[in-house]
Structure 1
Amino acid sequence: MMRMTAGASTLAMAMGLLAPQLAVAQSAEPVAGDATATATAATAVPAPADGAQRYTPGDFASFSPRTALDMVEKVPGFVIVTGTNGGARGLGAATENVLINGERIANKSTDARSALQRIAASQVAYVDIVDGASLNVPGLTGQVANVVLVAGTAQARFTTTIRWQPDWRPRLDDNWLNGEVSTTGTIGGTHVTLSLKNEANRNGHWGPEQRFDGNGVRQSTRDELASYRGDRPRLALALARTTAGGDKWNFNLGGQLQKLVDAASSVAVGPTNGTLRETFKSVEDEHNFDVGGDYEFGLGQGRLKLIGLYRFEHSPNVDTFIVDRAIGGRSGERFTQTADEGESILRGEYGWRTAGGTDWQVALEGAYNTLDVDAEFATLQPDGSFLPVIFGGEKTRVEEKRGEASLTWGRALAPNLTAQINLGAEYSALSSSGPDGLTRRFVRPKGKLALAWKVGPRTTINYQLQRRVDQLNFFDFASSVDVANGQGNGGNGLLVPPVVNRTELEFVQDLSAWGNASVAFAYAYAQDLVDQIPLSPTTEGRGNLPGAHLYRISSKATLLLDRLGWKGARINSDLTWRRNRVRDPLTGSWRDQSEGQEYLVDVSLRHDIPGSELAWGASYFDEHFSPNVRLNAIENEYNDGAFVAAFVEHKDVAGFTVRLTYRNLAGQKNRFDRTVFVDRRNGPIAFSESRRREFGRYFQLTVTGTL
């Protein structure tokens, strides 16, 4: 009751701040003396490139943006590709569709959203949406946002951006610590950004789980409560400078602590064993840091950029599962794993443009990745201690030494047609000391062809043909035990990186005053995808599959409703349908890849009320993944119903934007169904479980602003 009361009081406080503004109509247009308008007007900006759509601060004025992220998110039909380059091999080509001053974010610890969040809206001169194939940035295709800052924006005066996002969930601890503060400015000609960010969460759910025997007869019903608590404070420093001679350098330093605690408890009453209590707890206490930078200077007819990066992560993790039986006593298991991960990268890029307008780039990259795992599996003894049990995965070391070279060519083939070709190859030496450990060496060609065809003034067709090499999860080389579900994976030292041969065709239509829409069709033939495979007649683990077929249809759109008479309203949509078809290693038949996305529906409505500082809206989100298929079990985790939310926003509460969101209006629930077989899943069923957990409706407050 105390937590719900706190949430209600915060709601009352926020509505109290909004109420006095309802009677005051304020202009959303820039006014004389506005800092953003003045800075932009005083800056001489180049004309948009052919085919580019330009958005100036005036186009976003009705939203009263606080940061560059607020602006880019309002571009019609554009969706930011989230995530960092951490899942890719090394630095390689660009993986996100956002540039800042024409340059990609070459920092594996900072994604596009985080970088844009730290740029004040007053520092943005304009945002250009361009075709990736028309840029001399390898890896970019489709729509790309180039955020260009106001010349001289690196001022001596520091600008501080703030985001605070607490939420209050029923039956769980209040989350007060989620947010970020960053400050940017100039010291002695060097642009400085210092940020402190904590991605805190206080999640959880509760409800019954039923257990059935192999004939479908219910054996017991558990009442369960699970909580997931995490704090991830990260402190980062970024320095950037452009010398009088045009040389550019960047330096990044960051460190993070992660404290993650997952806990679940349940009580069941069975017909034969009486009361049964189960307790699971997982604790991870991680620290990591990264240091990197780049230096770019003129050399001959072009420019050379040198990039370096080092990352290290120390992650101790302890999972404990205890069972107390009224008849049968107490038993338990514990799995402890301490992992040290390291990554070192050196990369050089030399690019130039010929007199005929052709862009060239030559790139060389070397990387050294390591993983050291110390693990222990132990069982609970009558005296309360845990006795280690040999399970074959106590120590594992994985190393990869990799080098790659690539050549990129790009130019306009016609006034309305641009092309970019990237050809490359990589050499890697991969070794493991775990099960089946050995050293193997590979040479793999890869590359990409991208075309952007401006069919008409408002219609663009993008095409790409790509062969890429994906990064392995080094933890798949090590053995592990899932104490909560009584199963585990054997380590596999024979894993090889997957190779994906992919083609995609995208149609982009500018709907003028109606908005923007795109649809894309993609197919890929994947070699050596990673899924569950038999490692022996009695064990299983992660391994490579035969050739697979991947299909995707996606669409992104923004519909502006002004012409329908609803001034200031818009609908955004992001829709995806996928099928990843793989050969089952047990039966040989075709099935969906384990835990592959099947569909995504993300639709939102926003209405900025004209003549006021108020906005409101709602969102609908539904996503589904295919089951996780093990050799002795089928596990299907999914959401029952869609996630629906509604918000009200005031754009000027003491200079801050304040949004209050009421989340999970439709009462979405988490579901988990598991069928476990006696031996392999082509045999008889041992038992099955069906879990249904709810997490209730809750409030979330978002406060953003600049100082």
Structure 2
Amino acid sequence: MLAPAAPAWAQDGEPLPDAPDATEVSPQDPQAAASAAAREIYTVADFERFAPRNALDLIDQIPGFDVDQGGGGGGGGGGRGFGQAQENLLINGERISSKSNSTADQLSRIPVDNVVRIEVVDGATLDIPGLSGRVANLIVRQGGASGQFRWRPEWNFGTAPAQWFEGEISLSGQLAGVDYTVALENRDFARGRQGPSILSDALGGVDERFNTASNLFNRPNINAFLAFEVAPQVAANLNLSGGIEIFDSEEREVRVAGNPLAPFDERFFTDSDEWFYEISGDVTFPLGGGELKLIALESYDHRDRTSNSLLDTAGLPTSGSQFIRVADEGERIGRGEYSWGLWGADWQLSAEAAFNRLDQVGRLFAFDPLANEYVEVDFDGGVGGVREDRYEALLSVGFPVTDTLSVQLTGGGEYSQLSQTGDNSRARSFQRPKGSLNVAWAPADGLDINLEVARRVGQLDFGDFLASVDLSEEQENAGNANLRPQQSWDITLEIAKNFGEWGSATLTLVDEEIEDLLVIVPTEGGGSARGNLESAQRRGLEFVGTLQLGPLGFTGAQLDVELELEESSLVDPVTGEERRFDRNRPFELGLDFRHDIPRTDLAWGFAFREEEPAPSFRVDEESIEFGPRTFGAVFVEHKDVLGATANVRIGNIFNGGETLRRTVFDGPRGSSPVLFTEERLRDRGQSITLTLTGNF
């Protein structure tokens, strides 16, 4: 019998029954085939002590499992196009056809009562190309109409205002044969920091200042998911989302009292407004001896961002700059996946066309003290557009070699056409092979080994083609029309071990050999821009584990551990010396302890984070910027406050601040003298966060 990676414990402290064996699933179950390949099966009862409200609450408590969002952005495609599956989450054996909403987002809106079970499987055993390692497949059914809510206000002890409007409300059910989920969500963010900033010049002069900064962010949006049967054996899904984003930031730096230099007052303001939408859907139907799935997506994003700076120094006229960037981005995708069984193997042929666009108007202004207004100045490369037409075709086959060994092979390539308009007009095309080998081996009960060898092709940030300015950092990037997409050979080895009642752990080793890595490079005339390096390497280790403390007599307690170690190497394009990737942290450690007190509705715990920051580099600057290196939080939770779960969390208990250290050179690093150094330390203060979650 396959048991969970670690037994759950009921509120009275006794272990719950083992999860059902995969082979015990009813043959009438539409997911029976997937269940037969499951290495671990969980039910809602296994997580009873946590009082879960939705499907994502269950995923968060799977021992030794860490959610992978697939490189960021929505549905796991990462970047432009859908590509192969990358998230390690599935719903009823399928990935969702949305990019603005991830599978994790969707799971947070599925009531826990609708979850039948969770299957943890080896990705290479599924007929979904691109998946490897441990994958959680949630089997859910649609129930009656039900709703969920989450409200997460936060109060700060520092200078940030209260954060009142973070939360979500969702409703799901079935109406006229259509399964629906509708959600209204707002992401609210407020931060305030203040502290000294000390500049030292090459002659030993010291300029002491005081810096204050604040950020306010709101992103209200609405999402709808509809699923229905068009005809027998023909299933369709529709995803709709849209909303606005409002971001405002202010920063001010003044010379402190007693500074012998002339009074100095510099201010920065940023105002960014955005609106966006996405429409996507898919339809699946039988065709020939297999199944065809057609996917389509249309998305659009409009952003209007204005940044201003003003500098007042005694005895000098007011000076400053303004940068306005108006950008329109759009994406249109069509994808087809035909799957069939042949010779005891699962086959899939996929083809995708993705059409992406960016139109930007970037304008630079200088403050005129006589006119008391900003006057436009020349700004080469700030206006233009980028278009990419990308086509991809892949053939994959997956088959069992033995009862414990499965292999999945994928091969194909992509063809893309890139064109740019504006000051640096140019058109180019690329043809790149891509593919992967995935091997899943289960040499013993409770031990899973997954190996992936992949040839990957990255995607370019269209914004790097056009010039931009960061006023607060006094940085300007020229556009580069000669950028090439990154390519890499990636080797990933994942070893997952089930320790029974003690818990579970997963160790992942990664090696990447990269071509055309994108970094800041020097340009003619002494400027800088994004450019490509011929080669670079990155190697890493990630350990994720859950230790159940019940066998030690600490019933209801567990400790989650996450450790990341990483090394990277590139040849610096300015100095010619070997160094790490920009901001590539070599060490991160996370500890999360939770104790659900038996026979009560109370839980408490703490979180601890420690990381080693890493520097970033520009042509004439080296800097290191990081938040608290050591972070801690404590929480207490009650699982039945008028039917809701209330969690109160105190964050940043060690009072860590934000640190910036930078050295600016009078020309290229390594061959130029130091112009000045800056060291800034800003306090953030503690925060109190209340999270209320419930159902209706």
Which residue number corresponds to residue 43 of structure 2? 56
| SS, match of residue 60 in structure 1 | helix
| SS, match of residue 36 in structure 2 | coil
Deviates more, 1:581-590 or 1:550-559: 581-590
CA distance in 2, matches of 1:169, 1:193: 34
User: Do the aligned partners of 1:641 and 1:666 also contact (CA within 8 Å) in 2?
Assistant: no
CA distance in 1, matches of 2:563, 2:11: 36
Q: Give the TM-score, by structure 2 length.
A: 0.93
| SS, match of residue 318 in structure 2 | strand
CA distance in 1, matches of 2:555, 2:299: 49
5 Å matches for 1:227-626?
Answer: 227-243=214-230, 245-269=232-256, 273-354=261-342, 356-382=343-369, 383-626=371-614
| SS, match of residue 45 in structure 2 | helix
User: Do the aligned partners of 2:547 and 2:558 also contact (CA within 8 Å) in 1?
Assistant: yes
Which residue number corresponds to residue 117 of structure 1? 108
Which residue number corresponds to residue 692 of structure 1? 681
Q: 5+ residue gaps in structure 1?
A: 1-24, 32-39
User: Do the aligned partners of 1:671 and 1:693 also contact (CA within 8 Å) in 2?
Assistant: yes
Quote how far apart the aligned CAs of 1:89 are. 3.5
Which amino acid letter does the alignment assign opposite residue 98 of structure 1?
Answer: L
Which residue number corresponds to residue 20 of structure 1? none
| SS, match of residue 501 in structure 2 | helix
Cα deviations by residue, 1:140-199 (Å, 9 ceiling, x for unpaired): 11010001013xx2x4x3111111111001222110100111111111101111111111
- Alignment CA distance shift 1:306-1:391 (3 Å): same
**2:206 equivalent to 1:219:** yes
CA distance in 2, matches of 1:662, 1:30: 31
Deviates more, 1:326-335 or 1:180-189: 326-335
Quote how far apart the aligned CAs of 1:242 are. 2.9
Quote how far apart the aligned CAs of 1:642 are. 1.1
| SS, match of residue 680 in structure 1 | coil
- Alignment CA distance shift 1:533-1:697 (3 Å): same
User: Do the aligned partners of 1:435 and 1:477 also contact (CA within 8 Å) in 2?
Assistant: no
Q: Give the TM-score, by structure 1 length.
A: 0.92
Which residue number corresponds to residue 68 of structure 1? 55
Cα deviations by residue, 1:498-540 (Å, 9 ceiling, x for unpaired): 0111101121110000010111211111011110011214111
Which amino acid letter does the alignment assign opposite residue 575 of structure 2?
Answer: T
**2:126 equivalent to 1:139:** no
CA distance in 1, matches of 2:634, 2:259: 45
Which residue number corresponds to residue 4 of structure 2? none
CA distance in 1, matches of 2:500, 2:259: 67
User: Do the aligned partners of 1:212 and 1:687 also contact (CA within 8 Å) in 2?
Assistant: yes
User: Do the aligned partners of 2:613 and 2:629 also contact (CA within 8 Å) in 1?
Assistant: no
User: Do the aligned partners of 2:208 and 2:259 also contact (CA within 8 Å) in 1?
Assistant: no
Quote how far apart the aligned CAs of 1:26 are. 7.0
CA distance in 2, matches of 1:373, 1:600: 37
Quote how far apart the aligned CAs of 1:57 are. 1.1
Which amino acid letter does the alignment assign opposite residue 146 of structure 2?
Answer: T
User: Do the aligned partners of 1:420 and 1:450 also contact (CA within 8 Å) in 2?
Assistant: yes
CA distance in 2, matches of 1:394, 1:649: 51
- Alignment CA distance shift 1:470-1:624 (3 Å): farther
| SS, match of residue 263 in structure 2 | strand
Which residue number corresponds to residue 130 of structure 1? 121
CA distance in 1, matches of 2:38, 2:501: 17
RMSD: 1.9
Quote how far apart the aligned CAs of 1:366 are. 0.3
CA distance in 1, matches of 2:496, 2:264: 58
Q: 5+ residue gaps in structure 2?
A: 1-9, 17-24
- Alignment CA distance shift 1:320-1:86 (3 Å): farther
- Alignment CA distance shift 1:640-1:662 (3 Å): closer
Cα deviations by residue, 1:602-656 (Å, 9 ceiling, x for unpaired): 2100111111111111001233442120001112102343110010011111111
Quote how far apart the aligned CAs of 1:487 are. 2.3
Which residue number corresponds to residue 7 of structure 2? none
Cα deviations by residue, 1:234-261 (Å, 9 ceiling, x for unpaired): 1111111135512110111111100001
Which residue number corresponds to residue 19 of structure 1? none
Quote how far apart the aligned CAs of 1:681 are. 1.1
| SS, match of residue 534 in structure 2 | coil
CA distance in 1, matches of 2:639, 2:540: 38
The alignment-based identity, stated in percent, is: 36
